[in-house]
Amino acid sequence: MASKRFRGKRCVYCGRQEISDTGDHVIARGFFLPSQRANLPQVPACSSCNNAKSQLEHHLLTVLPFGARHSTASLTLNELVPGRLERNARLHRELLDAWNRQWQGAYAPRWSPEMKLPLDGNKVARLCEYMMIGLAWYHWQADLTPPNELRASFFHPSAISSLERLFGNPQWGAHVNENIGAGTLTYRAVQDPPAPARTLWRFTIYGVVMDDAAGWPGVRADAIYGASNPPRT
């Protein structure tokens, strides 16, 4: 049962007033080993938004650990993933098919240091957009719901240096830099106090590297950047 402090409030994700009926963990507890789940950020959410976000999380919580490169990667994969695969036969088949496609046929690689996963970068970016909205509210009580503009994406490496320089802009008055679960999930964010809906974000999840990032064949990225802005007038 949801805590009373989260009921009947504004849903942080859709912005509707007096509709929240649960406290959503902005960063799903399932990303972390049980020993790392204390004091994760929570915000008020309605059932509709909570369910939509949960569908993304259930998929990514199973797929992303296969590409984990953080300090507890092997523990995460061995302890958290097997049970999830048992409960999701369809996704289990998709992962097996991806493995078989890489290791069968005349042109299959004879050796490879890593497996490519059937990972939809759009789902990762969409989850990061949810997290941007929730974390902006959690840290700053900032509203990023429409008509505010918001987007998260993997970026071409040629753009990364420019994005990183933006974090050093002196206009930013509020800064957040978090590392949760020994590198399981990291995020950095800055905010413009005169315009609270103007924010910039950087996420990493399990240290996963995304191939063919943002539709560029052969391009690899290990971070998702996001930005939000007030509506254009």
**How far is residue 134's CA from residue 122's CA, in Å, rounded to a whole number?**
19
Strand pairing category for 210-211 and 195-205: unpaired
Report CA torsion sign: 143, 182, 221, 123.
negative
Q: Using one digit for the tens of pLDDT, what is the confidence trace for 184-225?
A: 999 999 999 999 999 999 999 998 877 666 566 666 778 999
Measure CA of the first residue to CA of the last residue in the chain; give whole Å: 42
CB atoms within 10 A of CB 130: 23
Buried/exposed code over 65-83 (b: 16+ C-beta within 10 A; e: otherwise): bbbbebebbeebbeebbee
CB 174 within 8 A of CB 188: no
Q: What is the pLDDT of residue 232?
A: 85
CA atoms within 13 A on the CB side of 60: 23
Residue 164 or residue 102, greater confidence:
164
Q: Which residue intervals of 15-72 are DSSP H helices?
A: 47-63
CB 164 within 8 A of CB 143: no
Q: Which residue, among 36, 90, 37, 96, has the nearest Cα to 66 in the 3D structure? A: 96
CB 119 within 8 A of CB 210: yes
**How far is residue 97's CA from residue 139's CA, in Å, rounded to a whole number?**
42
Q: Using one digit for the tens of pLDDT, what is the confidence trace for 138-153?
A: 999 999 999 999 999 9
Cis peptide before 82 (omega within 30 of 0): no
- Reduced to 3 states (helix: H, G, I; strand: E, B; else coil), residue 149 is strand
**How far is residue 166's CA from residue 148's CA, in Å, rounded to a whole number?**
20
**How far is residue 159's CA from residue 178's CA, in Å, rounded to a whole number?**
23
Range with the poorest average pLDDT among 5-9, 26-30, 152-156: 152-156
Q: Is the pLDDT of residue 99 over 70?
A: no
**pTM of this structure:** 0.86
